[in-house]
Structure 1
Amino acid sequence: MRRHLRLAAGMATAALLLPTLAACGSDSEGAGSGDSDNGQNADSGAADTLTIYSGRNEELIDPLIEKLEEATGVTVSVRYAGTAEHAATLMEEGEGTNAGLFISQDAGALGALSKAGLLEELPAELLDDVDAAHRGTEDDWVGISGRARVLVYNQELVAQADLPDSIHDLTTEDWRGKVAYAPTNASFQTFVTALRVIEGEDRAEQWLRDLQANDAEVFDGNGGIMDAVNNGDVEVGLTNHYYWYATAAEEGAENLDSRLHFFPGEDPGSLLNVAGVAVTAHGGQSEAARKAVEYLLSEEAQKYFAEETMEYPLAAGVTSPVEDLPPFESIEAPEVNLTDLDSLEETLALLQDVGMV
């Protein structure tokens, strides 16, 4: 039987390579619950057992893990926590890790672990079905679902013709007090990392300070932003595309006052990011972990992400059935190597400096 474990609070310390990841970073999906233990798995080296550190929450991923077990015959134990917390823990554990597989909410944490040499190179047959733009440059992690950064807006309060062309427009007087954002959210932090990579440290810092000075409203997560915009409590919000599509599927798009705006012209506000998966270099569970990766890229798993989470499937030949969802390739996203989003620690330090976290 699969075990569900919660990573103990406070495991990351100042001695970690990524200390601020654990201290400040959080995923909008949150950490799942379960029975806690010391994280040890006596069968970690066996070919038919696998310990997964999941930065995606239990409610989302557990049904898919059940399908994975059925398809592969592998017995799985899952530890749920935020992506940043898991990344810091893997750094701390190093060669002594009990994890065989890491499922990450975003590419930044995977890039950081790759840079530290803590991930195992994946065989070509597990990579070839995914575009090179959506996997690690060292071939040691691969994207399993995609998401786009968007601006959600209340169409009763904002005319389509008045929507901004760039995130930089949101710091002007026209948008004073009208913008919602979630600075402790992992996806926002990855977006800021991309902004640093694309436009440089100084301009990224200035944008953050200007956003604050423009009385932007702070929320804990994307769900709260979506509700606030739809209810008319705030005009626009920075979020991920799938929150709106999930709400529309439940309530009907015709019943929502909110709509999505994709920034044009390769603006950083239209960043395309991925959730990804990697086999750890020292977990001793390579065979089982590779089976899991293969399954997560299978048509069944890719359709699950497309239908249940409203994310973009990334494996070749699988398309999203979500109505009116723009094709992934049609989004005018900025050109950025996702592996270069590994400097989350610097991003969090910047967010601390400007007083956002």
Structure 2
Amino acid sequence: MKYWRILLLIVLAGGLATSASAEEVVVYTSVDRMFSEPILQKFEKDTGIKVLAMYDVEASKTVGLVNRLIAEKRRPRADVFWNSEVIRTIQLLKEDVLTPYKSVYYDDFPTTFKDKDGYWTGFAGRARVLLINATMIQERDLPPSILDFTKPEWKGKVTIAYPLFGTTAMHVAALYDYIGTEKTEAYLKGLAANDVLVVDGNSVTRDLVVQGKVPVGFTDTDDAQVAIDKGDPVQMIFPDSTGMGTLLIPNTVMMIKGAPHPETGKKLIDYLLSPETEKALQEGESAQIPLRKGSSPPGFKAMEVDYAKVAGYLEPSAKLCQEIFMR
């Protein structure tokens, strides 16, 4: 009898030791898997903390994960959300999905790229760019502003991702903030009337330009860089260099309220905001733009926007885009 009691105690003790040592963190990320997975795998290797990751779907991008986080608010499954943009992050804050955490690297980033109470921190940005097929047109052929793509000479020659999702939705909302509601709505209707080709995601716009199906596509710097690195006959253009400028979009990282693994979540956030990770994202295939204080300037004119105000335009923007570009 004593023998079995002792054996049972040994088994229970062993089980508790295994459970205590098996640290893990659950992260949802809308960053393309080809860019985010190597970072998360390195974190796992460096720390010994098991990473359970859920990645985005290209067509719905951030929206699907944001809706999932809102739906799980009462019983959160994720510890950390690594978002490829900032507007849906602000939406999550309004939905009371986030909890504040000021990383050890929080002060490294300018005020523009972080929440003052520590609910989210921005790092490693991308820019909204044009990708052109250099065998079809040259940079000198482009108009001075993206607003000119409604002109007849560009009919059927431009492609854009469906503007209800991802960075395209943010870009439209930023136009609402910068040029006003009336001009933005006229611009969107003009694009539709000019047969802009609307597709599922920025990587699709890139591929259509690479294939020569259209000469110009709206995309992000990371998607454009993939084509450039492959040696495809394309060129990346930062638009509106003499006007409103190019939209800069930071990655954002945040802690989920009620996270099941808050301590490992904090470790992952610190890791993502570290200089080493931002440098890896800059030098990697995605060629992201470092945002911490003291970083080199991006080399283009950035659009001056208030991300919180832009977030306020997301709903009316989405409603109009759904009406105009309904498929």
Q: TM-score range by the shorter chain?
A: 0.7 to 0.9
Show structure 1 runs of 4+ deviating over 6 A.
43-47
Match of 2:317 in 1: 347
Q: TM-score, normalised by structure 1?
A: 0.76
Q: Which amino acid aligns with 1:77?
A: L
1:311 aligns with 2:280: no
Matched residues in 2 for 1:338 and 1:213: separation? 29
1:22-44 Cα distance to aligned partner (Å, 9 max, x none) = xxxxxxxxxxxxxxxxxxxxx99
Residues 1:310 and 1:220: Cα distance change in structure 2 (over 3 Å): same
Which of 134, 146, 155 is 1:176 aligned to? 155
Match of 2:123 in 1: 144
Q: Which amino acid aligns with 1:256?
A: P
3-state SS of 2:73 partner = helix
Identity %, equivalent residues:
28
Matched residues in 2 for 1:44 and 1:171: separation? 60
Match of 2:12 in 1: none
**Which structure 2 segments of 5+ residues have no match?**
1-17
Q: Which amino acid aligns with 2:38?
A: P
Comparing 192-201 with 339-348, greater Cα deviation is found at 339-348
Which of 298, 302, 305 is 1:333 aligned to? 302
1:197 aligns with 2:177: yes
* Mapping of residues 10-159 of structure 1, within 5 Å: 48-81=23-56, 82-123=61-102, 125-159=104-138
Which of 199, 202, 223 is 2:203 aligned to? 223
Contact 1:135 1:141 in 2 (8 A): yes
* CA deviation after TM superposition for structure 1 residue 221, in Å: 2.4
How many residues are matched?
303
* CA deviation after TM superposition for structure 1 residue 163, in Å: 1.8
Q: Which amino acid aligns with 1:262?
A: P
1:245 aligns with 2:225: yes
Q: Which amino acid aligns with 2:316?
A: E
Contact 1:193 1:347 in 2 (8 A): yes
Q: Which amino acid aligns with 1:55?
A: S
Match of 2:141 in 1: 162
Residues 1:124 and 1:228: Cα distance change in structure 2 (over 3 Å): closer
What is the RMSD computed on CA atoms of the aligned residues?
Answer: 2.6
**Which structure 1 segments of 5+ residues have no match?**
1-42, 320-326
Match of 1:292 in 2: 268
Matched residues in 2 for 1:235 and 1:308: separation? 23
Residues 1:61 and 1:215: Cα distance change in structure 2 (over 3 Å): same
* CA deviation after TM superposition for structure 1 residue 148, in Å: 0.7
Contact 1:168 1:207 in 2 (8 A): yes
1:191-211 Cα distance to aligned partner (Å, 9 max, x none) = 011112222333222111110
